Every structure is written in C-alpha cells, then in structure tokens.
Amino acid sequence: MTQVPRPNSAAARDVRSQLHPYTNPVLHEQSGPMVVTRGDGVWVEDERGDRYIEGLAGLWCTALGFSAEERLARVAYEQMRRLSFYHPFGHKAHVPGIDLAEALLAMAPVPMSKVFFCNSGSEANDTAIKFIRFYNNALGRPEKKKIISRLKAYHGVTVASASLTGLPNNHRDFDLPLAGILHTTCPHHYHGAAEGESPDAFASRCAEELEALIQAEGPDTIAAFFAEPVMGAGGVIVPPPTYFEKIQAVLKRHDILFVADEVICGFGRTGNPWGCQTFDLKPDMIACAKQLSSGYLPLAALMMTESVYEVIRDNAGRIGILGHGYTYGGHPVACAVALETLAIYRERDLFGHAAAVGPRLQARLRDLADHPLVGEVRGVGLIGGVELSRDKASRQPFDPAQGVGAAMTRHLHAHGVITRVIGDTVAFSPPLIITEEEIDTMVDRVARALDDTLAWCRAEALVTA
C-alpha cells in the first residue's frame, strides 16, 4: 500500500514531476504512487518487493502478462535496426504495416476491406468519427452527422471520443460532450430494468428507446452508433442476450453505421477472438487496440467495410488527399511487435486457453455473490465485474463520497491484488495466460478484501448488516 513518500525516493520524485491520469492529484501529493518495478507472468512487484496478482492486465491490455517476452523484445530490436521509423503518408509504406493490415483483415469477424493505423483506442474512435463525417458529406448528406453512444460507455478521452464516452467525470468541466453526440440507454438489466421486467423485455425497451431517440432527432440526422460488445470501463456491463439483435435491426432500418469498439474485447477477451463473434455483431467499422500488441507498444487500428472505404476513397480522390493521419500511426516497430504477438496467440492457442479458463473465472466470481457487500456479479470469458451494494434487496449503491471503492482498493492491495474499482464495481480482466490455479488465488484474495471492506463499512456506519 502507498505511504507518505520518503524524500528523494522514486515516489517523491514522481509527485514533484508527473500529473497522473485518472488520479486525484491532491491525494496523490499526500500519499504518492505505488512504484511498480518488475513483472512475472500475471504478477507484478513494487519497489519494496511486495508482489501483486494483476487482475486487470494492466489496463485491459497485457494478454501475455508481465514477463519479458523475449520474442517480442527480439522482434522490436531487429525492426529498430532494420527500419526504426517510417510512415504511411504520401504513398509510402513499410512491410510490417502491410503484413499486419493483411493479418487483421484475415482474422476480422466480418468482411473488412481496409485498415487505418492509430496509436490508441481513443485515436481509433476519434478517427471513426471524422471518417463518418467525411463519408456522409461525400454522399451528399450534410445533415446526417449526429452520433449515438450509450450511457456508461467508454470510447476514449480525446475531445471527440470522450464525448462518446458516457461517464460524467469524463465530461465534467471539460465542456463535453460536443454537440451532435447523443447517449441512449445503458443495457444494464440489474439497474435499468423495471420491477419484473425480463432481460428480453428490457432489451426490447432499450431498442425502443433508441428508436424513439432517432425519431426525435430525425433519422436523416443520425450517422452512426458506437458500442462496445461488453462495456468495460463503465463497469463491465454485459448486455441481455437479445439486445444487439434488436439494436442492429433499428440501425439497419435507418441506414445508420455501426461502429464496434473492440478495444477491450478484441483478441480473446470474451472467449472468442472478437467480442463481435460472442454477440453476433455485424459492424461497418471496428476499432481495436490494447491486446493487439499485448500492451508492449502503443498501437491501434480502425477497420472498415468495402462499402465505407469506397465512399471515403472516392471523396478523397475528388479532393486530392485524405487529410488525416498520425505521425506514429502504424509505426514499423509497433506493427512488427503486434505481428509477433498475433503469432504467439496462434501458436500457444491463447484464445482457446482463455475460452477454457474463462468459465472458472466466472464461476469463482459468482461464488462471491452471497457476500453481504455484493449486489451483482457479471461477466463473460475473461472479463468480469463484482458490484458492491449498500443494500442488496433494493440494489442501492453507496454514495461515491463515502469512499467505499477506495477502501476496497486499499484492501485489495493489502491482500496482493491490483485491479480497478470502477465506482463500486471491482473489474477483472486478467492476462489471457492466467491459469485456473491463479484465478483461484486471485478470487480467494478478493474474498478476504471484501471481508475487510465490510468490516470497514460497519466501523464507518455505512451498512447495518
């Protein structure tokens, strides 16, 4: 656990020099960071030598864990020596980028035509927004520009992608969302369903509310709909079984593009290579990142269908240029590492391994459902969420100001587990290499952290049970 930083320690130097993302800077100045110094498989170690099982694969990304994967290090070194940098601007290309684009198209869950490389999921979704505008202008539909996302969605933190994100703290005092970005119902049956409303009936209502929003705004003004197969940073929200079938029917009826955000779900996370396969999605664009390189180097990609590409191609040809791109998008070293990552996934059958051990994670997390603090357990494959509740019967959450999530985080650290507590949901997305034994170790430690957090809640008079 973090302590007051010693003078001139790494933690003290960090406090003096860095502004941290998703961190309270006032508290950070008081307590400093946990300084992580090394990794081994699903474990990481801090500067004091304390070991933690990493329950979120870093930030949903390190599929291969935290060991020194020599093959990836060697590929990066060899590519740096051969061609340390080049770009795809102005009719240029390099072989790692060509090879990776071909590999992604070959494994895409539905037929895709072209790949556009970026550096992060935020950039991939931001790029999709720009291309959607470009696309509809090319088709002579200048009014068809509004984009619908969902409450509790997470699509990134650029000005445009943060507007898609449906979380208040990503909007508050940033003057977001931008005009033209709308949000529809979050498909969380636990909190969103009416009393007695079945998952199927709730899914129908979600589709009806999307239809009502489209009609209220005008179908000719709605350009696209963005969705994660499983909503990750919004709290690991798994949609009801018929949800996407009904949502996609609405989109098709109104000629609205569907962008699948596979940034978290892609590359084995849900038990299939893609979340689109788990939920039978037929998107027009797919954004992917994170596990594409197992987090070893920044890399993301946006794939698009032939029909979308043709419109973009013809319009850029008319203008004379496609005026969009990133200096480091499709960096040759990152592409080479991603190619080798995909090869390792195939050779070790890591997607098959994830599908095999995923049920163990889901079963062990559901063992926690009877705990007095646990309101709901949800998940699929190797992604899961355990939601804390002030009152199980009424599904009443804690007031964020009470700091229950922060207390749970402290107790998880004390028991040697690192993950993210999103609001009151403890999120799990361990490296794909995790074993059933390591899953048991992790969940056993989480159970002890829950007990400690319950004791803390009782001491603070936050619960009576």
Tens digits of per-residue pLDDT, 306-342?
999 999 999 999 999 999 999 999 999 999 999 999 9
Residue 164 and residue 259 in one domain: yes
327 and 212 housed in the same domain: yes
Asked if the structure places residue 26 within a domain, the reply is: no
pLDDT for res 442: 98
Strands 285-288 and 181-184: unpaired
Within a domain: 392:
yes
Each residue of 32-64: pLDDT tens digit? 999 999 999 999 999 999 999 999 999 999 999
Using CB atoms within 10 Å of the CB of residue 254, give its burial: 0 to 12 exposed, 13 to 18 middle, 19+ buried.
Answer: middle
CATH code for the domain in which residue 402 is found: 3.90.1150.10
Tokens of 93: 């290309």
Residue recorded with tokens 């699903």: 42
Is 80 exceeded by the pLDDT of residue 303? yes
- Of 313, 329, 347, which closes a domain? 347
The string of DSSP codes covering 185-234 is ----HHHHSPTT--HHHHHHHHHHHHHHHHHHH-GGGEEEEEE-SSB-TT
User: How far is the first Cα of the chain from the last one, in angstroms, to the nearest whole number?
Assistant: 28
Burial of 384-397, coded b for 16+ CB within 10 Å and e otherwise, reads bbbbbbbebeeeeb
- Please say whether the beta carbons of 159 and 246 come within 8 A: no
| Cα–Cα distance, 126 to 109 (Å, whole number) | 22
Average pLDDT over residues 14-39: 95
Look up residue 190 and give its two tokens.
Answer: 């636990």
Angle at 464 between CA 458 and CA 465, to 5 degrees: 95
Do residues 336 and 453 both lie within one domain?
A: no
pTM for this structure?
0.96
Domain residue limits at 45 = 34-68+350-459
Q: Which of 131, 183, 119, 185 shows the shortest CA–CA distance to 157? A: 119
User: Is the Cα dihedral 392, 394, 397, 399 positive or negative?
Assistant: negative
Q: Does 46 share its domain with 175?
A: no
Q: Is residue 18 part of a domain?
A: no
How many angstroms from the chain centroid is the CA of residue 211?
A: 26
Has residue 20 been placed in a domain?
Answer: no
Residues 41 and 176 occupy one common structural domain: no
Measured CA to CA, the distance from residue 147 to residue 138 in angstroms comes to 17
Strands of 51-54's sheet, edge to edge? 36-40, 43-46, 51-54, 417-418
Longest CA–CA separation in the chain, Å: 69
The band of 3, judged by pLDDT with boundaries at 50, 70 and 90, is low
Gap between the Cα atoms of 384 and 56, Å rounded: 10
Residues 221 and 205 in one domain: yes
pLDDT, residue 158, reads 98
The answer to whether position 464 is within a domain reads no
Count CB neighbours of 457 within 10 A. Answer: 22
Mean pLDDT score, 361-367:
98
**Domain-located, residue 11:** no
Backbone angles phi and psi of 14, in degrees to 5: -60, -45
Report residue 7's pLDDT band, with 50, 70 and 90 as the boundaries: confident
User: By the 8 A CB rule, do 183 and 153 touch?
Assistant: yes
Round to whole Å and give the CA distance between 338 and 333: 9
Structure tokens at 457: 């809640």
Count of CB atoms situated within 10 Å of the CB of 99: 15
Residues 394 and 325 in one domain: no
pLDDT band at 184 (very low <50, low <70, confident <90, very high): very high
Task: Extract the tokens encoding 195.
Answer: 């009393």
Residue 391, domain member (yes or no) = yes
**One domain, residues 55 and 123:** no
Task: Check which CATH number belongs to the domain holding 236 and give it.
Answer: 3.40.640.10
Least confident range from 183-192, 206-215, 399-408, 426-435: namely 399-408
CB distance 272 to 355 below 8 Å: yes
- SS3 annotation, 347-416: HCCHHHHHHHHHHHHHHHHHHHHHCCCEEEEEEECCEEEEEECCECCCCECCCHHHCHHHHHHHHHHHCC
SS3 for 88-114, per residue? Answer: CCCCCCCHHHHHHHHHHHHHCCCCCCE
The structural domain count of the chain equals 2
Query: Rounded to whole angstroms, what are the CA distances from 144 to 110, 180, 214?
Result: 25, 10, 11
Instruction: Let me know whether 143 and 125 are in one domain.
Output: yes
Cα gap 331→86, rounded to integer Å: 7
Sign of the torsion formed by the C-alpha atoms of 360, 362, 368 and 369:
negative
CA-nearest of 383, 433, 385, 419 to 52 is: 419
Domain match, 343 and 356 both: no
> Would residue 465 count as lying in a domain?
no
* Spatial separation of the C-alpha atoms in residues 39 and 53, rounded to whole Å: 10
The whole-angstrom separation of Cα 125 and Cα 133 is 13
Contact 18, 407 (CB under 8 A): no
Block residue for tokens 């990750």: 232
- Asked if 275 and 358 count as a contact pair (C-beta separation under 8 A), the reply is no
Q: Say whether the peptide bond before residue 431 is cis (omega within 30 degrees of 0).
A: no
Residue 34 identity:
M
Does the pLDDT value for residue 5 go beyond 80?
no
Q: Is the pLDDT of residue 464 over 90?
A: no
Task: Supply the pLDDT for residue 8.
Answer: 81
**Residue ending a domain, choose from 315, 347, 379:** 347
- Rounded distance between C-alpha atoms, residue 332 and residue 328, angstroms: 9
- Cα separation, 248 vs 214, whole angstroms: 13
Tell me what pLDDT residue 4 has: 65
Is the pLDDT score of 1 beyond 50? no
Q: Of 279, 314, 347, which one is at a domain's C-terminal end?
A: 347
**What is the mean pLDDT of the segment spanning 131-160?**
98
Co-location of 47 and 135 in the same domain = no
- Whether residue 263 is found in the same domain as residue 393: no
